[in-house]
């Protein structure tokens, strides 16, 4: 039974395809993270804001996204929007779906950060003469994001891994490339082992990049490292 013999010789010819897939995943996940972060930020601001109606709307969006499968969300964007007359490439549909998904999860994380800011902080800032916008920016938003940045980073790495599911609509990314290679070489086990290894490397890469961004953006992180 255990007589399976590994054969990685196909790598000689398919390595460039794996690398292309990895690069496509980086682009797909990277752009989804960047746009998703902005969506999450805006949603968190609205959700924790005074406008009951807008806040409720965002709340409904968050709940719908968190309680439906990502794959179904992707199908709805990819197959659903064209019937409304919006023609999308698989990659665009993938980015939109991933942004919608991570915007919901990310907004809950950022909202927790916003709500963790003590009222005394706001009063102190007010007493120093900062106006509403300045208080919001300097005393709420920046420290809130700083506080939840580790959780946010994990969410973004998860998003990168989840992007593999967009292979279901044949978006060009690592898993889709792997499916293709697998169908040509019939070495499924080897192919997916390699894919797993590449995803692992991508996770490390994303973590390192996100960490570096945090180091630059949040002075305290850099200075208080023990």
Binding site for other proteins (CB under 8 A): 118, 120-121, 123-131, 134, 138-139, 142-143, 146, 218-220, 223-224
Contact criterion met (CB below 8 Å) for 88 and 77: yes
Cβ-based burial of 214 (10 A; exposed 0-12, middle 13-18, buried ≥19) = middle
Q: Helices in 163-187 by DSSP H: which ranges?
A: 174-185
Cβ–Cβ < 8 Å for 164, 175: yes
Which lies closer to other proteins via its Cβ, residue 16 or residue 120? 120
Is the CB of 52 or the CB of 220 nearer to other proteins? Answer: 220
Q: Are 47 and 62 in contact (CB under 8 A)?
A: yes
Closer by beta carbon to other proteins, 27 or else 151: 151
> Considering the complex, what minimum distance in angstroms separates the CB of residue 206 from other proteins?
24
Query: CA–CA separation, 130 vs 135, rounded Å?
Result: 6
The encoded tokens of residue 162 equal 């989840």
* Short-list 143, 89, 103, 100, CA closest to 120: 143
At residue 48, φ and ψ (nearest 5 deg) are: -95, 10
Closer residue to other proteins in complex, CB, 104/139: 139
Least distance to other proteins from the beta carbon of 43, Å?
22
Residue 157 beta carbon to other proteins: minimum distance, rounded to whole angstroms:
24
Distance CA 21, CA 85 (A): 30
Alpha-carbon gap, residue 181 to 37, rounded angstroms: 33
Dihedral of alpha carbons 200, 205, 206, 207, sign: positive
**131 vs 92: CA distance, rounded Å:** 40
Query: Based on CB atoms, which residue is closest to other proteins, 71 or 126?
Result: 126
- CA 205, CA 103: separation in Å to the nearest integer? 22
Instruction: Specify the residue, 18 or 136, whose C-beta has the smaller distance to other proteins.
Output: 136
Cβ-based nearer residue to other proteins, 2 or 224? 224
- In whole angstroms, the minimum distance from the beta carbon of 213 to other proteins comes to 16
| Shortest spacing between CB 118 and other proteins, in angstroms | 8
């Amino acid at each position: 039974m255990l007589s399976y013999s590994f054969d990685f010789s196909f790598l000689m010819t398919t390595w460039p395809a794996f690398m292309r897939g990895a690069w496509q995943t980086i682009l797909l996940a990277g752009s989804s993270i960047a746009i998703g972060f902005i969506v999450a930020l805006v949603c968190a601001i609205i959700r924790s804001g005074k406008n009951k109606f807008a806040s409720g709307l965002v709340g409904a969006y968050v709940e719908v996204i968190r309680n439906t499968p990502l794959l179904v969300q992707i199908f709805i964007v990819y197959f659903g929007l064209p019937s409304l007359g919006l023609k999308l490439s698989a990659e665009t549909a993938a980015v939109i779906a991933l942004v919608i998904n991570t915007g919901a999860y990310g907004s809950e994380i950022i909202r927790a950060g916003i709500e963790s800011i003590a009222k005394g902080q706001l009063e102190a800032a007010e007493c120093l003469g900062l106006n509403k916008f300045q208080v919001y920016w300097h005393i709420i938003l920046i420290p809130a994001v700083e506080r939840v940045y580790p959780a946010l980073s994990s969410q973004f790495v998860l998003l990168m891994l989840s992007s593999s599911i967009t292979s279901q609509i044949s978006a060009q990314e690592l898993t889709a490339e792997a499916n293709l290679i697998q169908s040509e070489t019939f070495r499924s086990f080897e192919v997916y082992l390699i894919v797993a290894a590449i995803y692992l490397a991508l996770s490390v890469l994303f973590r390192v990049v996100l960490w570096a961004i945090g180091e630059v953006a949040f002075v305290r992180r850099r200075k208080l490292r023990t």
